[in-house]
């Protein structure tokens, strides 16, 4: 049985199906035109990188290069979160993800950016965390270590209602905690160390062609719509007395 999860939702010609076949469940991402085959390829490269450098999960991600490329990912059991997941109420899973990233993500020339890290793109269970949806994957300068975490935190903060001071104040100690889990005094070379959110925005704007097909970056990444001054203020609150 094929269940259509989405088709063409990101302004692209890619569909996602959940397939149930002989008691086996897998996800099938399929390009619907030759021009978008490279998106499937990019996602496969992302999974390969992840399974080589970060995750120990034994899972076979299969790329089928027929006229329209297909990516087959077995169902990974666990909890998956909604797209509009906030910080408040999800502190435990976010903390787990930050810890996972801080501990496992390469900080050397093998460093890479997932580009769309969010709670809706992780599946967690008691044993492990599995990161999916590698469409924006690209190798990057190791000085941007932390990018995926601050992008994820900003998106979640936005769903908390970043403009409402009450929520900001409530989230601050948690943001500081995440910051301190990622950085210590040895990492002053890091671009995000002094201004995590501002540099996250700058990275997206300066490297937009690395994200998906390079279009719609402004619409997709909410942080790019915020003024530098607001981001600087937020950065000062988080970095200040650390
Ligand atoms: N391997 C998998 N195991 C379990 N759930 C998955 C898997 N792949 C996709 N999903 C589910 O399908 C949803 C969409 O998949 P995703 O790869 O994130 O595509 P999209 O580009 O639409 O965000 C995920 O949020 C998750 O609920
Ligand atoms: Mg997704």
- What's the token pair of residue 110? 């093998």
* pLDDT for 217: 72
Q: How many other CB atoms sit within 10 Å of the CB of residue 119?
A: 23
Residue 242 confidence (pLDDT) above 60 = no
Q: Where do you find CATH 3.30.200.20 in the chain?
A: 2-74
pLDDT confidence tier of residue 240, bands split at 50, 70 and 90: low
Instruction: Report the nearest-CA residue for atom 26 of ligand 1.
Output: 80
The set of protein residues with a Cβ atom below 6 angstroms from ligand 1 is: 5-6, 16, 27, 73, 75-76, 80, 120-121, 123, 132-133
* pLDDT for 213: 75
- Counting ligands in written order, the one closest to the CA of 9 is 1
Q: What backbone torsions phi and psi does residue 237 show, to the nearest 5 degrees?
A: -65, -35
Sign, CA dihedral 49-50-55-56, equals negative
* Distance, first Cα to last Cα, the chain: 53
Span from the CA of 119 to the centroid of ligand 2 (angstroms): 9
Q: State whether residue 156 is helix, strand or coil.
A: helix
Span from the CA of 187 to the centroid of ligand 2 (angstroms): 31
* pLDDT for 168: 75
- What's the token pair of residue 134? 């590698």
* pLDDT for 185: 67
Residues 6 or more apart in contact with residue 150 via CB below 8 angstroms: 192, 196, 197, 200
Span from the CA of 133 to the centroid of ligand 1 (angstroms): 7
From 75, 119, 123, give the residue whose CB has the most ligand 1 atoms within 8 Å, as the site to mutate. Answer: 123
Span from the CA of 151 to the centroid of ligand 2 (angstroms): 14
Cα(205)–Cα(5) distance, rounded to whole angstroms?
A: 30
pLDDT confidence tier of residue 220, bands split at 50, 70 and 90: confident
Is the pLDDT higher at 12 or at 157?
Answer: 157
- Counting ligands in written order, the one closest to the CA of 123 is 1
Q: Using one digit for the tens of pLDDT, what is the confidence trace for 142-201?
A: 999 999 999 999 999 999 887 776 667 889 999 999 999 999 766 778 999 999 999 999
Span from the CA of 39 to the centroid of ligand 1 (angstroms): 15
Instruction: Report the nearest-CA residue for atom 9 of ligand 1.
Output: 27
Cα(18)–Cα(213) distance, rounded to whole angstroms?
A: 24
* pLDDT for 15: 95
The whole-number average pLDDT for the span 86-92 is 95
The CATH number given to 2-74 is: 3.30.200.20
For residue 130, give the nearest of 71, 64, 89, 75 by alpha carbon: 75
Is the pLDDT higher at 117 or at 219?
Answer: 117
* pLDDT for 181: 95
pLDDT confidence tier of residue 241, bands split at 50, 70 and 90: low
Backbone torsion region of residue 118, taken as left when φ is above 0, otherwise alpha when ψ lies between -120 and 50, otherwise beta = beta
pLDDT confidence tier of residue 219, bands split at 50, 70 and 90: confident
Percent residues over pLDDT 90 in the chain: 81
Instruction: Report the nearest-CA residue for atom 5 of ligand 1.
Output: 75
pLDDT, the chain, mean: 92
E-strand ranges in 171-210 read none
From 80, 120, 136, 137, give the residue whose CB has the most ligand 1 atoms within 8 Å, as the site to mutate. Answer: 80
Q: Which residues pair with 47 in a beta bridge?
A: none
* pLDDT for 14: 93
Ligand 1 atom showing the smallest separation from residue 75 Cα: 3
From 10, 13, 27, 62, give the residue whose CB has the most ligand 1 atoms within 8 Å, as the site to mutate. Answer: 27
Cα(18)–Cα(29) distance, rounded to whole angstroms?
A: 9
* pLDDT for 165: 65
Answer yes or no: pTM beyond 0.85: yes
* pLDDT for 6: 80
Q: State whether residue 232 is helix, strand or coil.
A: helix
pLDDT confidence tier of residue 66, bands split at 50, 70 and 90: very high
């Amino acid at each position: 049985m094929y269940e259509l999860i989405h088709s063409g939702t990101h302004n692209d010609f890619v569909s996602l199906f959940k397939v149930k076949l002989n008691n086996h469940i897998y996800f099938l991402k399929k390009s619907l035109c030759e021009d978008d085959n490279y998106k499937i390829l990019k996602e496969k490269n992302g999974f390969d990188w992840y399974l080589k450098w970060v995750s120990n999960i034994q899972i076979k991600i299969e790329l089928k290069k027929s006229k329209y490329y297909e990516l087959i990912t077995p169902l990974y059991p666990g909890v998956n979160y909604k797209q509009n997941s906030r910080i408040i109420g999800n502190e435990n899973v976010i903390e787990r993800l930050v810890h996972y990233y801080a501990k496992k993500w390469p900080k050397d020339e093998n460093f890479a950016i997932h580009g769309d890290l969010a709670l809706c793109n992780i599946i967690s269970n008691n044993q492990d965390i599995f990161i999916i949806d590698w469409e924006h994957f690209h190798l990057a300068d190791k000085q941007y270590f932390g990018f995926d975490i601050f992008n994820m935190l900003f998106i979640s903060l936005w769903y908390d209602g970043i403009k409402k001071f009450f929520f900001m104040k409530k989230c601050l100690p948690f943001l500081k905690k995440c910051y301190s889990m990622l950085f210590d005094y040895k990492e002053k070379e890091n671009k995000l160390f002094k201004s995590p959110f501002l540099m996250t925005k700058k990275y997206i704007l300066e490297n937009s062609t690395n994200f998906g097909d390079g279009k719609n970056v402004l619409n997709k990444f909410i942080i790019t719509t915020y003024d530098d001054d607001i981001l600087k203020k937020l950065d000062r609150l988080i970095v200040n007395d650390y």
